[in-house]
Amino acid sequence: MTTKTITVQRDVKAELRRQAEELRQHLGRQGTLVINVLSSPGAGKTSLLQATAEHWAGRHRMAVLVGDLETDRDAQRLAPHCPVEQLTTGGACHLEIPLVKQGLEKLSTADIDFLFIENVGNLVCPASHDLAEHVRVVLLSVTEGDDKPGKYPKMFRTSQALVISKTDLLPHVPFSVDAAIDDAHQIQPDLTVLPICSLSKDGIAQWCQFLEGQRHELLARTVIGESMVTT
């Protein structure tokens, strides 16, 4: 027997990342902005998407791919508002690009302006997986504590926007919005911060404006469709 060393030197997810890049470019060229929405369980992702659909009703077309471990409860909540397809991970704690592609076979996106992917509630694993998004958004609800950015650096480093959710609860919890923003900006100085409350709709207009701006930028650089996910 002879030992032979094969030099590889590549990210274990290189092939998945290539697929994500291809899909991102394809969706970008047709004018669909893809938004990967991440947070810990229950931070308010589905509620935000419901409020977003209501805000845009009749003005922009949006669709949602929603990842869930087992149930289709979030898909049921969103179905009255916009086209939605459920991605059941069968217990896996994060979404991967092949599942997103499967979902897109059932969801027609040709005339969709904004495609949201609601990831599985988890601040760790989803941070490592490119789902072909143009914009990655992390939600942090005020009940989770303002020290979270530093504890989950990868998630905050790889996001373009931080949504601080459930701001109506601020009077009841020891959460400093400034401290959370400061902590997050040490990790990712380019993060856009958007405080929102999905119940009162406070901040929803600014959130929607941010996404409209992102889509304008996408349309302006259409053919390039370059990755915006930087680490």
Partner 1 sequence: MHEMSLVRSLLRQVEDLLIEHGGESVSAIHVEMGPLSGVDRVLIELAFEQLVVTTFCADARLVIDEIPLSARCRDCQTEFNLEDFRFVCPQCDSQQVQITGGDEFRLLEVEIETADRCRASQEEKPCCEARA
What residues make contact with ligand GTP under the rule CB under 6 A? Answer: 39, 41-47, 74, 121, 165-166, 168-169, 197-199
CB 68, min distance to Mg ion, A: 7
Q: Which is nearer to partner 1, 114 or 152 (CB)?
A: 152
Residue 129 touches which member of Mg ion, partner 1, ligand GTP, none, C-beta under 5-8 Å by kind: partner 1
Convert residues 58-97 into a mask of x (bound to Mg ion by CB under 5 A) and - (unbound). Answer: ----------------x-----------------------
Query: Which residues are at the interface with partner 1 (CB under 8 A)?
Result: 1-13, 16, 92-94, 96, 124-125, 127-129, 150, 153-154, 157, 186-189, 230-231
Joined together, the tokens standing for residue 86 give 């459920």
d(CA 109, CA 105): 9
Helix 97-106 vs helix 14-29: angle between axes, to the nearest 10 degrees? 30
Q: Which is nearer to partner 1, 6 or 223 (CB)?
A: 6
CB 139, min distance to Mg ion, A: 10
Residue 39 touches which member of Mg ion, ligand GTP, partner 1, none, C-beta under 5-8 Å by kind: ligand GTP
Residue 47 touches which member of Mg ion, partner 1, ligand GTP, none, C-beta under 5-8 Å by kind: ligand GTP
Helix or strand run (H / E) with residue 78: helix 73-78
Q: With beta carbons less than 8 A apart as the criterion, state whether 61 and 112 touch.
A: yes
Helix 45-56 vs helix 204-220: angle between axes, to the nearest 10 degrees? 80
Helix/strand/coil for 67: strand
Convert residues 45-64 into a mask of x (bound to Mg ion by CB under 5 A) and - (unbound). Answer: xx------------------
Task: Kindly write down the DSSP assignment for every residue of 173-219, as one continuous string.
Answer: S---HHHHHHHHHHH-TT-EEEE--TTT-TTHHHHHHHHHHHHHHHH
Q: Which is nearer to partner 1, 128 or 143 (CB)?
A: 128
Q: Which is nearer to partner 1, 93 or 177 (CB)?
A: 93
Cβ-proximal residues to 177 (8 Å cutoff; 6+ apart), any chain: 142, 146, 164, 167, 170, 195
